[in-house]
Amino acid sequence: MKPNIVIILLDAVRAQNLPFYGYDRNTTPFLSSMADEFCIYQNAISSSYWTMPSIASLFTGMYTSSHGLLADRDKLDDALLTLPQILQNHGYRCAAFGRNIYVSDYTGLDRYFDDFFSITGIDRIKTLSGKISKRFLNDMLPPGINRLYQGSVNAGNSKKQKIFNIAARLVDVFMDSGGRKFVSNFSNWLKKHRSTPFFTYIHLLETHAPYRAPLNFATKFLSLQANLKKLSVNHNHLNYMLNRTPMTPQDFKILVGAYDNAICYSDYLIKKIVHLLKKHQVFDDTMVVILSDHGDNIGEHGLMSHYWCLYDTLIKIPLAIKFPAAAGMRGSISRVVQNVDIVPTILALLEENDPKIWNQIQGNDLSGQAACKREEGIAISELVKVFGPDREKFKAQLNQFDRRLLSVRTQDLKFIHSSRGDHEFYDLAKDPIESHNLYPDDDRCSTLKEKALTYFKRMDDFYRQNIDKIDGRVDAEKVDASVIERLKSLGYM
């Protein structure tokens, strides 16, 4: 019997804020109660530091410099096989639920899903309000309210800045990012398709900045006083990085609390999904994969959001897999794994032997049945495109980040190769927060440096072949207005 497959992706969730990885807050009470039924991977590493290339890796089993989905207005090469396409060929019904613009027809990552649920009530209201009045209703909904706040920052108007920031944060409290609606969509969809093998991809966006959690979750890890303070705390990473808005340690502490609230809310949504699987008596025969695309910086390393680095705050992600009962796999696993390993693991589970598919794969089967494609014990992460949409104009001010990076990570060591030569080496066992760069003085760095250089050359070849689109600026006039709105709502423009 073919197992059902459910992938639940928590956008921008870093491993360090989950109790499985030593966090002192139980941000995932439901998953914690289910831990004995899952394989919990202690060292799961993303192939990239942001959504589009990371999800492409998840769907193809390839690294960024191989699948090539990197720059805005890119679409995944039609010649590449994706997970829903492979599963369709095995007789699966495939559905996706999410509203991240980078997992849509904008990138081609919607290909081969039989059903794709993406529009929410908020999107419909925004569309309607835009037709009624661009200066009234539309500006009272995100990203409009956030742009009003941004405009006040640029103009140096502190009074307006405070008013619009408070308004934007109040909106955050009263809405999620579609997760509740998608769980409802999934419930209705499951009723129709539970009798056939199915694959569902559910992308939860609540944990992406500005960290939305509804009122009943807003005080899980923030006091009422801190929630009131949160209304005036800056949530925009560029305001901080460009020194437009100074932030205190207390401000970042509040943002971490809001982040943890959003993770806890996502855990609640996962609980509802699992209960639906159990209600329809398909849970035991379903492979449930819970992971993130990347993490987030919340003041660490002097950074905000997910840009400009390959520290573990961005690339060490949670990964929990509930294998079908017959597989008998569970427990805590310490070896280094990656998001590119999900596709080959599913292929092995299906006993797929088509060489065309396996020739594409660069990840390893986590069950150990298939031959390794990547050297065991290491993980590769790539930072190829330094400045995202509409960021090129800040290159001079953010010049220290203008370099390409590739990291090679083992369980305890990490080497970060930089195109500018300012390499980094960390002993993660002694320095998990990566605060003491040991390069070039530590003798242990030479082996990882050599490996990193080999992988970097491959990535650099890809960069030089595609330098125009990678370093080019997105022309907003050539991109659909609705796409621009969705990019801005995520803080990418």
Q: Amino acid identity of 33?
A: S
Among 21, 26, 9, smallest CA distance to 261 is for 26
C-alpha dihedral sign at 30, 36, 39, 43? positive
The whole-angstrom separation of Cα 77 and Cα 12 is 25
Q: Amino acid identity of 68?
A: G
Mean of the pLDDT values across residues 430-442? 97
The whole-angstrom separation of Cα 53 and Cα 434 is 24
Higher pLDDT pick, 473 / 4 = 4
Q: What is the pLDDT of residue 324?
A: 93
Mean of the pLDDT values across residues 381-397? 83
Higher pLDDT pick, 372 / 327 = 372
Does CATH number 3.40.720.10 belong to domain 4-120+178-489? yes
Among 267, 181, 176, smallest CA distance to 221 is for 267
Q: Out of 149-158, 187-196, 318-327, pick the least confident.
A: 149-158
Q: What is the pLDDT of residue 266?
A: 97
- Residue spans per domain, the chain: 4-120+178-489
pLDDT digits 0-9 by tens, 219-231: 999 999 999 898 8
The answer to whether 287 and 5 have CB atoms below 8 angstroms apart is yes
Longest CA–CA span in the chain (Å) reads 66
Q: Are strands 93-97 and 115-117 parallel, antiparallel or unpaired?
A: parallel
Q: What is the pLDDT of residue 134?
A: 46
pLDDT digits 0-9 by tens, 263-288: 999 999 999 999 999 999 999 999 99
Mean of the pLDDT values across residues 132-159? 56
Q: What is the pLDDT of residue 487?
A: 52
Percent of the chain with pLDDT over 70: 84
If one counts every other C-beta atom within 10 angstroms of the C-beta of residue 131, the result is 10
The whole-angstrom separation of Cα 492 and Cα 256 is 21
Res. 389 pLDDT band, cuts 50 70 90: low
Q: What is the pLDDT of residue 221?
A: 97
Res. 135 pLDDT band, cuts 50 70 90: very low
Evaluate if residue 125 carries a pLDDT over 50.
no
Evaluate if residue 120 carries a pLDDT over 80.
no
**Mean residue pLDDT across the chain:** 89
Evaluate if residue 307 carries a pLDDT over 70.
yes
The whole-angstrom separation of Cα 42 and Cα 379 is 13
Evaluate if residue 311 carries a pLDDT over 60.
yes
The whole-angstrom separation of Cα 387 and Cα 410 is 27
Mean of the pLDDT values across residues 286-307? 97
Q: What is the pLDDT of residue 161?
A: 66
Angle at 144 between CA 216 and CA 72, to 5 degrees: 100
Among 346, 181, 383, smallest CA distance to 269 is for 181
C-alpha dihedral sign at 186, 190, 196, 197? positive
Evaluate if residue 242 carries a pLDDT over 80.
yes
Evaluate if residue 124 carries a pLDDT over 80.
no
The whole-angstrom separation of Cα 358 and Cα 441 is 40
The answer to whether 181 and 120 have CB atoms below 8 angstroms apart is yes
Among 350, 73, 318, 56, smallest CA distance to 197 is for 350
Mean of the pLDDT values across residues 386-405? 84
Burial state string for 21-39 with b = 16 or more CB within 10 A and e = fewer than 16: bebeebbbebbeebbebbb
Q: What is the pLDDT of residue 122?
A: 47
End-to-end CA distance of the chain: 46
Q: What is the pLDDT of residue 394?
A: 87
The answer to whether 2 and 350 have CB atoms below 8 angstroms apart is yes
Q: Out of 66-70, 251-255, 258-262, 487-491, pick the least confident.
A: 487-491
Angle at 224 between CA 12 and CA 123, to 5 degrees: 45
Mean of the pLDDT values across residues 103-110? 91
Higher pLDDT pick, 155 / 358 = 358
Mean of the pLDDT values across residues 302-306? 95
- According to the 3-state scheme, what is the secondary structure of the chain? CCCEEEEEEECCCCHHHCHHHCCCCCCCHHHHHCHHHCEEEEEEECCCCCHHHHHHHHHHCCCHHHHCCCCCCCCCCCCCCCHHHHHHHCCCEEEEECCCCCCCCCCCCCCCCCEEECCCHHHHHHHHHHHHCCCCCHHHCCCHHHHHHHHHHHCCCHHHHHHHHHHHHHHHHCCCCCHHHHHHHHHHHHHHHCCCCEEEEEEECCCCCCCCCCHHHCCCCCCHHHHHHHCCCCCCHHHHHCCCCCCCHHHHHHHHHHHHHHHHHHHHHHHHHHHHHHHCCCCCCEEEEEECCCCCEECHHHCEECCCCCCHHHHEECEEEECCHHHCCCEEEEEEEEHHHHHHHHHHHCCCCCHHHHHHCCCCCCCCCCCCCCCCCCEEEEECCCCCCCCHHHCCCCHHHCCCEEEEECCCEEEEEECCCCCEEEECCCCCCCCCCCCCCCCCHHHHHHHHHHHHHHHHHHHHHCHHHHHCCCCHHHCCHHHHHHHHHCCCC
Q: What is the pLDDT of residue 328?
A: 83
Q: What is the pLDDT of residue 110?
A: 93
400 burial (CB, 10 Å; 0-12 / 13-18 / 19+) is exposed
Evaluate if residue 144 carries a pLDDT over 90.
no
Q: What is the pLDDT of residue 470?
A: 87
Q: What is the pLDDT of residue 404?
A: 97
* ω into 197 cis (within 30 of 0): no
Evaluate if residue 436 carries a pLDDT over 90.
yes
pLDDT digits 0-9 by tens, 13-69: 999 999 999 999 999 999 999 999 999 999 999 999 999 999 999 999 999 999 999
